[in-house]
Structures are given as structure tokens and as C-alpha cells.
Chain A
Amino acid sequence: MDGHAAATGRVAALLERRWRVLHAPRWLGPALLVAIGYYLAARLGLALTLKPYPISTLWPPNALLAGVLLLAPARAWWWLLAAALPAHLLAELQSGVPTVMVLGWYVSNCGEALIAAALVRVFVPEPLRLDSLRNAGIFLACAVLAAPLLSSFLDAALVRTIGSGQNSYWDLVHKRVFSNILAELTVAPLVLTWAALVTRRPAASLAHIVEALALFLGLLGVCMLVFDLPYLGTHISPAVYYLPLPFLIWAAVRHGPAGTTTALALMAVATIWGAVHGLGPFAARTPQETAHDMQLFLIAVSVPLLLLAVVLEERERAERESREQRRQLTHLSRVAMLGELSGGIAHELNQPLTAILSNAQAAQHFLANKTAEPEVLAEILHDIIEADQRAGDVIARLRALFKRGETRFETLEPNRLVEDALALTHGDLTTRGVELVLRLAPRLPEIRGDRVQLQQVVLNLVVNAAEAMAPCPQKDRLLTVQTLATKGRVHINVVDRGSGFNVPAERLFEAFYTTKPQGLGLGLSISKSIIKAHGGRLWATTRRGGGAAFLITLPSVP
């Protein structure tokens, strides 16, 4: 490096250090988000207050803070809470409450969030995800029940000491508890589930998004119909309260915890908004009773639905994981099988290599002897190219089987599928002295499936059959692979003349059942699950006169 470049490097490093000082710190973004969110939540809470009743039916800022703290590491809690202070002052000072009281509420709001987050953190040391029943239970016990209770004592005491003394202490506690419980139940899960959704970034299809839109429009429509129409004086059947339920269950079943929490929040806002404006079934009584009734109704609906969404999510995740495991196992058994075939595959590659080498050396001799005729040389080159292509085909087939890809269904020709699979076993069969009889029915209907997985099944059956015939004299080592069609079905049969099997056929397909000294006992069980996933059937029978027949049946494409 010359002097000039070194100097440039030093300047760049200096600038970078300076820039880092000027650069916004890492936590500024989240802090800003918390401040804005807190302010909006406070405005919403104020808007959902039934005048002249001074307590909001749903006070979201505390729960928002709790949700944020549950996601953040403990060392970040202090500055996240600090970020809420300006938003708190801005929102509350507009309502004409004494400054001391406003600051007191800030302390009690932060207190609730801290209690919720700290209690949950005792049981779940990492950022909380509402993806298991255990986590949801801990969240409900700590954040939804314990934190509002504890902080309500604190809050009520503050109000009693600082503020206006119309209400008794226990009355204040009672009012705040339900308001806070509903908020923790509605807002904190919203924050948690959406944060999980945003970080996981699932690939949502257009159809799924359209469905979600339809769901929320439908829910909004029903909620407005039920909670936001003037019902004054009319009798309301209790059945009306259940009208949003189908939409909420739809959300839980199809749109996960995030969809459910959003739907619940939407219903809560629609319900309270209606009551605040003197509409809906709850508006008939005193503000205290109205608020209390709504809180109990919304809590009663939210808890089971939230749990339902979490349970469904947990189950789906378990299914996803087992699917992934099955996929890995399928791939592993395929690789293991290719390992068994490696000798035969080496033979398959050796043949074209032999042809290439001998052809090339023959050409060299012809040229050296000056006996090279152009036609002969052309034939030699033609054969070399053919041999090279053959070797390339073997490698392409191998690569396809070695790859660990997603399951991909496509339309397949059964005969082509069988031929492709057998192409890799040719060497192995020759080495084992097994004679292959191919009986492919002409004009078979097509099937739909994953090419690699179906090839895997055929390969597995062929390798098993070849191994089963190892003890037979060579003239009896006859392997028949047959394809045929019946109505709506395509059959692929692999029949050997080995010693057959003397256990019930179902046992052959059990995982870890094997007759081979080095076998894992997974091949047939995986083959069966592959065929099952294709809507088909794989079973085995003994052949008359010795041997086993493995029969694959797959639905054909109409």
C-alpha cells in the first residue's frame, strides 16, 4: 500500500468514527415507535371513556407498554419507559388533570407494564411469543391477571392521596382492575402477535390476504350491526351477542393468533365506541354499569378465543415441524439408498468412460498407423459424444435425487418415471446378476406427483428386490417391473423371485423393521408414506412359487 492510500484509509476511518457519533443510535427507532404508539393509545383510551365516568373502559397505553417490554431485553426497559413519558405528558395534560396526578399515573402505568413484564420473564426468560399453551397461560396469569390487580392497588392509592376523593379506595381498585385487565387482554397480545408476524415474515398468498380482508370487513359489518345501532328501549335477544363469534372463530382457525387478536381488538373498539356514543345493547344503563358489562363481555369472549388461536397455532407448528422432519428423513433415506447403489452407479459411469477411453486410444492408433479413415474417425467421435452424454445423464439423475428440495407436484408419465428410476439401477442389477423384465403398458394415463419422491419409491423397491434374490442361483434372479392401468388408477408392480417374507405384510412397512444386517428399516415405511401423500397405496403380497410382489397404486389424472 502506498502512502497516499494509507492516508485515505485513515481519513475514511476517522470519518466513520465521527459518523457513528452523528448516526442515530440503535434504540432511537423503537423509542420513537413507543412514544408515538403510547400517544395514540392514550388518545384512543380517552376517546373510549364514558363521560362523566372518569375511567376509560379500555385503557391501552399500559398494555402497549407491557407488550413492548415483553418483547425487549430487560436492559432496554428503562429507556423504553422513558420514551413513553413525553407522549404521556402530551396526551394527559390536554385533559386538564393536575400535573402531579398526571405524573402519578405515568408511574402507575409504568408500574403495571413492569410488573407484567417482570413476572412473565420469571417463567419465560426470552422475549415472549404467544405460540404455545404454556406461554399463553403464563401471559394470562401474569400480565392479564396479576399485573392489573397489583398496579390497581397502587393506582387507586395514588388517586386517593393526590386527587379528587369522590370514590372510595376499593371502588377505585375495582373499576381500574377490569379496565386494565381488558386492556392487557386486548392490546398486549396484539403487540406480541404482530411483532412475531413481522419478524417471521410468512409468505402470504394473495388469496389469503383477500380472505383476511373479507373476514375483517364481515366482522366490522356485524359488529357495527350488533353494537353500533340505536337499540334504546327495545328488547335485545342475548343471541345477538353471539353474531360476531363465527368471524372470531374464522380468524382463530385460519389467520392465527395475529388475526385473532386483531379481530378481538376490532370488536372491542366497535363495542365501546357504540356505548360511548349511546348506541348498541350496552348503552341503556348507567356509565359504570355499561362499562362493567362491556368489560366482562369482552373479557369472556377474548380469553377462550385467544387460547383457541394459540392452541391451533401450536398444533400447526408441531405439524409443520414434523413435516419438515419427515422431509429430512425422506431425503436422508434417499441418500442412504444411493449409497447402497454407489457400486452400481460407479459401474454405470465406468461403462461410458471405458467407451470414451478405448475409442480415443483406437483413434490415436489409427492416426499413428496412418490407417485412419474419415468414416471410422467420425463414428468414433459420434460414440464418444454418445458415451459422454450417457455419463452426463447418470450424473443429472443422481443430482436430482441427492437434492433436498421442496415437494413439487407435477404431471408425470408413469412409464417414463419407472424407466428413469431403473436407469440408475442398471449397473447394480448387472453386478448382482439380476435379470430385469420390464412390462410397461402402452398409453398409460398420467399421474400427478413429486418426481424425485416417486422415483425414490421405485428405486427402493427395486433395490430391495435385487437384494432379496441374492441367495438364489443366477438363472432365478428375475425381477419384473410392470405398469398397468385400471379405471382411474395406475399400478406399478415390482415382483421378485426371492424367498418372499414370512411376517404379516404390514410389518414390512413399520419403521425400523428390517431384515438386512445393515438396514435402517426406514425405506419401506418412508415409501409407504410417500405413496400415501400422493393419494395412493403401497402394499405387499407373496408371489405364488416364491418371491414378493410390491404393488403401488396411484390415482391417475382424469
Chain B
Amino acid sequence: MSDVRANVTVVDDDPLVLRSLDRLLQSAGYAVETYSSALEFLRSCAFDAPGCVVMDLSLPYLNGLDLQQALGKIADARPVVFISGHGTVPNSVEAMKAGAVDFLTKPVDAEKLLGAVRAALSKDHAAREQRAGQAAVTSRLCTLTPREREVLAGVVVGKLNKQIAAELGTAEKTIKVHRARMMRKMEVGSLAELVRAWTVTQPPPAA
């Protein structure tokens, strides 16, 4: 983990509960932000900052599940831990399906809450690392010339230099030059590395 204090956001409409969760998370060493409603949280500019969200399921105006859905549409949304005074099975199933890290019932024990927060933060961390890697590869791809990209497309599907040269109508020697330059720009040392970097930029197959 980084030495920067991880950020935990708490959303609960009950000020007494909000303060208590704030203190509990602070006592465990987290930086805590508190909001008393989903709207107030969405109005803050930091809802996509690194960290996780601990929120009550039933909130006024926009309840927890709605907020979770809204956050789900944002690429960098933080993972959510739900706490509820009256967790029903359908609610918890819906929450978990929508990607909640955990669904805890009030009154929640510190051990469980902090465990869930740790899990959420590591999920967030992993997701951000992955997205950072993707972004790096994408920006390297942007530096390639059209010819180099054509060569890359051939290489990653396992074609030989000779085949690529035939398809593009140039000499195999020229392709070799393009290929070496492309590998350098993509900052990879082997074909395997190139394929892995290229894969993360591809959208996942439709389910």
C-alpha cells in the first residue's frame, strides 16, 4: 500500500451514526469524508478519487442502491460497502450483483467493517493499477505510425514477417525495420509481452 492515507467516504443520513463511523474509521488510520445524503456525495468533486465508500442502504431522496448504480456508470468509481439496519435478502442480492464489496447489518462490528473496508480498498487499488496499465499501453499505441500499427496487427495474430510483407506489398526487410521500431515504441522486449500489453487495450468479449 502507498504511504498516502487511504480515503474512505461515509454516507449516512443519521448524524449520530455518521459521526461514530467517522471516528471508528479514523481510529483505524483512514482519512474519512462524511456525507449525509447521496446527492451531497454526488455533488462533491471527489467521488472518483481513490478510496472506497461506506454507505447506508436507505438514504433519503436517492437510496443506497440508486447511488451505487449511479457510481457504476463512472469509470473510476470507488467500490461500495453497504451497511443497513434492515438488510433484506433481495436488497443484499441486488447490491452484491451490482458489485458491492460487502453488505453488513447494523449495528456493525468494527472488525467486520474494517475488514470490508480493507477489501474494498485493495479492490480499488487493483482496479486503478489495471486501468493505469491500460492507459500506458494506449498512449504508446498512439505513438505508432500507420504502417507500424499494421505490422503490429499482423504480429499479434501470429503472422510471420514474410506473410506480413506479402500482405502489405513490401519487402520482408522493411517489415523487420518497422517491427523493431514498433517493439521499441511499445516498450516491450518479447512477442509475449507485446501480446499481453495489446490484450489489455482490447474490450472484453461481449458476454
Contacts and interface: CB of A to CB of B under 8 A. Distances in A.
Which 6 A-B pairs rank lowest in CB-CB distance, beginning with the nearest?
A365-B27, A358-B20, A362-B23, A361-B110, A347-B85, A350-B85
Interface stretch (B11-19, B141-149, B178-186, B191-199): B11-19
Given A357-B108, A359-B20, 11 more contacts: A346-B85, A350-B106, A352-B16, A354-B106, A355-B19, A355-B20, A356-B107, A362-B26, A364-B27, A430-B60, A474-B62
Given A347-B85, A354-B107, A354-B108, A369 B27 contact: yes
B107 A353 contact: yes
Interface residues of A, number: 35
A418 to B, nearest CB: 19
B16 A387 contact: yes
A358 B21 contact: yes
- Residue from B14, B28, B109 whose CB has the most chain A CB atoms within 10 Å: B14
B24 interface: yes
A351 B26 contact: no
Given A350-B85, A361-B110, A366 B16 contact: no
Please classify how large the interface on chain B is, using the bins under 10, 10 to 19, 20 to 34, 35 or more: 20 to 34
A362 B86 contact: no
B86 A343 contact: yes
A435 interface: yes
9 contacts: A352-B16, A353-B107, A354-B108, A355-B20, A358-B113, A359-B19, A362-B110, A433-B58, A435-B61
Contacts of A474: 61-63, 66
B58 A431 contact: yes
Contacts of B28: 365
A427 interface: yes
A353 B17 CA distance: 9
Contacts of B109: 357, 361
Interface in B48-68: 58, 60-63, 66
Interface string B97-130: 0000000001111100100000000000000000
A310 to B, nearest CB: 58
Contacts of B16: 351-352, 355, 383, 386-387, 390
B85 A357 contact: no
A376 interface: yes
A350 B20 contact: no
A359 B23 contact: yes
B20 A353 contact: no
Interface in A168-200: none
Contacts of B24: 358-359, 361-362, 365
- Residue from A361, A386, A427, A474 whose CB has the most chain B CB atoms within 10 Å: A361
Contact of A346 (B58, B61, B86, B113): B86
A376 B17 contact: no
Interface in A295-350: 343, 346-347, 350
A475 interface: yes
A463 interface: no
A350 B20 CA distance: 13
A471 to B, nearest CB: 16
A355 B107 CA distance: 8
B56 to A, nearest CB: 9
A94 B200 CA distance: 130
A334 to B, nearest CB: 22
A373 to B, nearest CB: 11
- Residue from A346, A365, A390, A474 whose CB has the most chain B CB atoms within 10 Å: A365
Interface in A363-390: 363-366, 369, 371, 376, 379-380, 383, 386-387, 390
B85 A365 contact: no
Nearest to B113: A358
A358 B63 contact: no
A366 to B, nearest CB: 5
Given A383-B19, A433-B63, A351 B27 contact: no
A351 B58 contact: no
Contacts of A352: 16
B58 A358 contact: no
A376 B107 contact: no
Contact of B106 (A353, A362, A380, A431): A353
Interface in B86-102: 86
Interface string A54-97: 00000000000000000000000000000000000000000000
A370 to B, nearest CB: 12
